[in-house]
A and B are shown apart, each in its own frame.
Chain A
Amino acid sequence: MARWLAGRLLQALITAALAVVLMFFLVRAAPGDPLARLSEDRQLSPEAAAVLRARYGLDQPAGRQFRSFATGLVRGDLGTSIEYGRPVTELLRERLPGSVLLGGTVLLLTFGLGSWLGALQAVRRGAMDRLASAVALTLYATPSFWLALVLAWLVGIEWRLLPAAGMRDPLLPADAGALERLADLLRHLVLPSVTLAAVNLAATMRYQRAAMLEVLQQPWIATARARGLGDGAVHWRHAFRNALFPVVTLFGLWLPLLVAGSVFVEKIFAWPGLGALAADAVGSRDYPVLMGASLLVTALVVLGSLLADVAYAVLDPRVRRP
């Protein structure tokens, strides 16, 4: 197992390194002036532009820029944002909690609720199954940005039940207690997480339903029933656990959602996450931020894939065989 794991780790590191190198050069090959954002209100003079290009190393050949990026990376320094004028590591650190909170909640809802509903569909075939499928597929077909706009309008503006945007109320009294702050955070979390979870739920449900149906047809399920086990025990203690394999793989693939989130949903709900930061960085060609965010997503993609493999290997020893 240890040797297998070491091999997978090495493979993951090589993949991540290749992705980073590719991203670095592809981003710079794209047309566009990274100083555009700073010229939005006022055209920079050629002299000022030259100083700023030198400050951010943009006047250097791409090879030299990569060398300084790689050297910084080794030291844990991802450079300074062109747009914000602040260290990229600081910006990422500031945005990470928001992304993890939203992404984590969405993953929890998507996989917790999705797995349960999918399994429920499989064991209760008929009207309930058809209705759940129809609702889930309708939500799946709904663009997240549209759903976000509708929810913000209906719940946030028309009914004023929940905040229309943001992650916390800036006017919460200074002496507000921890519970009050937590409640405020949760109120802000509802609309973006429900939006994202709603459109993603169907995939988990479908996977789980199909896996559950397959497991329920296995001979050992019939054996369990013949031993006198009740429906509840057969379905949830035996079948459900064995039907989790495909969903584990799906979970690994969706792990990057933790940081990448959904750009549109983060934007519409003014959620301070990494997705919106990265999207803005693309729009303004803020190379350092773009590389920092990409690095994080790459690491999570590789980690997610690795974790899925490990989970599979733990659950099914046949995978580890050479």
Chain B
Amino acid sequence: MRRTRLALVTLALPALAFPLAGRATAQGSIVVVTGEHAAAPVPTVGEGTTANADVADQLFLRLAVPSPGRAAAGDRGFTPQLARSWSRRDSVTLVFDLDRRARWHDGVPVTSRDVVFTFGRALDPALAPVHAGLLAQVASVQAEGAHRVVFRFKRPYADQLFDATYFVSPIPAHLLDTLRPADLQRSAFVRAPVGNGPFRWVRSVPGEFIELAAVRNHFLGRPGVSRLVFRTATDADARINLMLSGEGDALIGAIPPLANRDRLLATGEIRLVTTPSNSIGYLLFNQRAPGDSTRPHPILGDVRVRRAIVAALDREAMVRSVFGPYAEVPYGPASGMLWISALAPDPAPRDLAAARRLLADAGWRDADGDGILDRDGRPLALSINVPATSAARRQMAVQAQEQLRQAGIRLEVLVLERPVWQERHVGGNFDIGFGSATQDATPAGLTQSWSCAGGSNVAHYCNPIVDSLMRRAQLSFGDVSPLWREVLDRVEADAPAAFLFAPVTVVAVHRRFERSAVLAGAPWLMLHSWRVRRGAELPRDRAAR
């Protein structure tokens, strides 16, 4: 589904190979507390929501997954799952050999027919518009025998293996190919999916929870617990309460607010696990006039003003006050999970004097002595659109307002309902948009927001040199670090946004679990390796199905 949900990098975790094959007993349960009920946890059906992908990750295996602790780059850094091995025929052809031991939960073998069927759906924009966009470079997927699949791409590029393996997990053709494609979404299969992953479907109680059970004879090994529950609480307080009352075992997104850290740790039952995140937050500067993309923005069209705003912000202080130690100020648009973030130097600290100089160079003076700069009788006044759903962003917007006032810039904070914020954001109807993005696992995804023709480039940032550098980095199979470093430097210099925070993912986990590995980008992908420490079982762990 989402390009973003990649397991990647940095953590020194156990290998993705299922660790419990051969263990005498697997018991215990994990209750994951989530904010949304997975209504359609089936690849190519439930597009666009994290909840669907989190559950689908337990039910359906991918052909391969990026290995923990290694950067997935080019054809390196992947661990087999459904595919036992793969090879390259030429620069545009990848061949996968499926693991013959793989079975659907109804006992039928997984074959190349399933892969071809699934990609047939995923590549059809009418059925799976999000996937079709992500897989735009895949020309065809064909079977060669029952266990060999051949992927052909439209052009040579480094992330072909990533594209072929990450976004789409195969679904069972033998159960679905008699359905009209458009009917799958409303089919019984979506209400009780049959997968091939470490957990099988037990039941869904809509709005409450989804229960999965371990597949005891799974070909990659038995999961560490026998039951896995995704429990829904749409309200943030309710989610925290479930953890504090001992009814939940794992939760993502408890911080911010920082106060939750102390509340969770005070129970003595919970510890916090951190992992790099693929999120990044920024103040996006619209370079075209709000509502009229044919004209440059009267204030933010000037790079000196944009740089001045970045210099006037005390980003470090803002990040610490909201996230504490759980975020950093990024250099350019690189979240902590992207390997290129390691190439980046420390971002420049606040420099109010430099901000004032830049604004003066751009012709902004305080002619009327009201503390706000003006030019040609027009004050240096901007507005910032903030989605009401994010308390952290609301708090930071108010801090930015005060910091910019010190530089002579008036900032009006507009807190908007999420759909209204989105409508204005996509329509380019804003001065500054307080946005956040969940990034792709490879830096190639940056082209969507930071290239001239990027589909998500709503602020109309355009630097042909940056485009060229990104294109070269994507096409090269060699060391592309210098290219990406230059991309970051040039984006920083152009200041299309003030990059504010790159948080880490904080996962609250009950202490009775050992091996509670959490992966960047797909935190629940390794739940199969979690297990309850011997002697620490709760009564409910013994009441396994």
Do A and B actually bind?
A: yes
Residue pair A272, B246 in contact (C-beta under 8 Å): no
Residue pair A41, B48 in contact (C-beta under 8 Å): yes
Tell me, in angstroms, the Cα distance from A47 to B208 when the chains sit together. 34
Residue pair A267, B235 in contact (C-beta under 8 Å): yes
**Centre residue among A41, A94, A267, A269 by max chain B CB count within 10 A:** A41
Interface residue B369 (Cβ < 8 Å from any Cβ of A): no
Tell me, in angstroms, the Cα distance from A174 to B3 when the chains sit together. 37
Closest partner residue, chain B, to A48 (CB atom) = B129
Q: Give chain A's interface residue range (CB within 8 Å of chain B).
A: 35 or more
Closest partner residue, chain B, to A277 (CB atom) = B207
Interface residue A160 (Cβ < 8 Å from any Cβ of B): yes
Q: A41-B50, A42-B48 are in contact. Are A32 and B241 (CB under 8 A)?
A: no
Interface residue B125 (Cβ < 8 Å from any Cβ of A): yes
Closest partner residue, chain A, to B457 (CB atom) = A43
Residue pair B423, A31 in contact (C-beta under 8 Å): yes
| A269 partner, pick from B211, B238, B420, beta carbons under 8 A | B238
Residue pair B3, A42 in contact (C-beta under 8 Å): yes
**Centre residue among A36, A95, A153, A168 by max chain B CB count within 10 A:** A36
Interface residue A45 (Cβ < 8 Å from any Cβ of B): yes
In chain A, residues 250-295, which have Cβ atoms closer than 8 Å to a Cβ of chain B?
267-270, 272-273, 276-277, 280, 283-285
Residue pair A284, B207 in contact (C-beta under 8 Å): no
Binds A, one of B38-46, B60-68, B139-147: B38-46
Q: A170-B229, A171-B540 are in contact. Are A43 and B448 (CB under 8 A)?
A: yes
**Centre residue among B4, B45, B186 by max chain A CB count within 10 A:** B186
Collect the chain A residues with CB atoms within 8 Å of residue B265's CB: none
Collect the chain A residues with CB atoms within 8 Å of residue B234's CB: 267, 270, 276, 280
Residue pair B456, A43 in contact (C-beta under 8 Å): yes
| B185 partner, pick from A43, A85, A285, beta carbons under 8 A | A85
Tell me, in angstroms, the Cα distance from A95 to B133 when the chains sit together. 34
Task: Give me the 3 closest cross-chain CB pairs, A-B, nearest first.
Answer: A32-B419, A272-B207, A36-B422
In chain B, residues 415-450, which have Cβ atoms closer than 8 Å to a Cβ of chain A?
417-423, 426, 437-438, 448-449
Closest partner residue, chain B, to A279 (CB atom) = B234
The interface bits of chain A over 139-179 (1 if a CB of B lies within 8 angstroms of the residue's CB, else 0) are: 00000000001001100110010011111111101100000
Collect the chain A residues with CB atoms within 8 Å of residue B2's CB: 41-42
Minimal beta-carbon separation of A79 from chain B (angstroms): 12
Interface residue B92 (Cβ < 8 Å from any Cβ of A): no
Interface residue B31 (Cβ < 8 Å from any Cβ of A): yes
Closest partner residue, chain A, to B47 (CB atom) = A38
Residue pair B241, A156 in contact (C-beta under 8 Å): yes
Interface residue A322 (Cβ < 8 Å from any Cβ of B): no
Q: A43-B455, A51-B125, A91-B206 are in contact. Are A166 and B186 (CB under 8 A)?
A: no
Tell me, in angstroms, the Cα distance from A45 to B186 when the chains sit together. 25
Residue pair A285, B39 in contact (C-beta under 8 Å): no
Interface residue B108 (Cβ < 8 Å from any Cβ of A): no
Residue pair B420, A170 in contact (C-beta under 8 Å): no
Interface residue B231 (Cβ < 8 Å from any Cβ of A): yes
| A95 partner, pick from B40, B48, B206, B211, beta carbons under 8 A | B206
Residue pair B543, A173 in contact (C-beta under 8 Å): yes
Closest partner residue, chain B, to A34 (CB atom) = B419
Collect the chain A residues with CB atoms within 8 Å of residue B448's CB: 43, 45
Residue pair B244, A95 in contact (C-beta under 8 Å): no
Closest partner residue, chain A, to B232 (CB atom) = A270
Binding site for A on B (CB under 8 A): 2-4, 29, 31, 37, 39-40, 45-50, 125-126, 129-130, 132-133, 185-186, 190, 205-209, 211, 227, 229, 231-235, 237-238, 241-242, 244-247, 389, 417-423, 426, 437-438, 448-449, 455-456, 458, 540, 543, 545
Tell me, in angstroms, the Cα distance from A95 to B233 when the chains sit together. 14
Collect the chain B residues with CB atoms within 8 Å of residue A276's CB: 207, 234
Residue pair A41, B49 in contact (C-beta under 8 Å): yes
Residue pair A86, B39 in contact (C-beta under 8 Å): yes
Residue pair A41, B438 in contact (C-beta under 8 Å): yes
Residue pair B247, A283 in contact (C-beta under 8 Å): no
Collect the chain A residues with CB atoms within 8 Å of residue B437's CB: 42-43
Residue pair A164, B241 in contact (C-beta under 8 Å): yes
Describe A's contact surface by its main secondary structure.
Answer: loop
Minimal beta-carbon separation of A288 from chain B (angstroms): 13
Q: Please, could you name 14 A-B residue pairs with CB atoms under 8 Å apart, sorted by A?
A: A32-B418, A32-B419, A32-B423, A38-B47, A42-B4, A42-B438, A43-B448, A48-B129, A80-B185, A98-B207, A166-B231, A173-B545, A267-B238, A272-B207
Tell me, in angstroms, the Cα distance from A204 to B233 when the chains sit together. 32
Q: A168-B205, A170-B231, A173-B543 are in contact. Are A85 and B129 (CB under 8 A)?
A: no
| B455 partner, pick from A45, A52, A153, A170, beta carbons under 8 A | A45
Residue pair A36, B418 in contact (C-beta under 8 Å): yes
Interface residue A8 (Cβ < 8 Å from any Cβ of B): no
Residue pair A165, B438 in contact (C-beta under 8 Å): no
Residue pair B205, A48 in contact (C-beta under 8 Å): no
Q: A31-B420, A171-B31 are in contact. Are A44 and B130 (CB under 8 A)?
A: yes
Residue pair B205, A170 in contact (C-beta under 8 Å): yes
Residue pair B207, A95 in contact (C-beta under 8 Å): yes
Minimal beta-carbon separation of B248 from chain A (angstroms): 9
Interface residue A223 (Cβ < 8 Å from any Cβ of B): no
Residue pair A165, B233 in contact (C-beta under 8 Å): yes
Residue pair A284, B418 in contact (C-beta under 8 Å): yes
Residue pair B49, A268 in contact (C-beta under 8 Å): no
| B45 partner, pick from A52, A85, A170, A273, beta carbons under 8 A | A85
Interface residue A37 (Cβ < 8 Å from any Cβ of B): yes
| A38 partner, pick from B48, B185, B421, beta carbons under 8 A | B48
Residue pair B208, A168 in contact (C-beta under 8 Å): yes
Tell me, in angstroms, the Cα distance from A28 to B190 when the chains sit together. 30
Collect the chain B residues with CB atoms within 8 Å of residue A42's CB: 2-4, 48, 130, 437-438
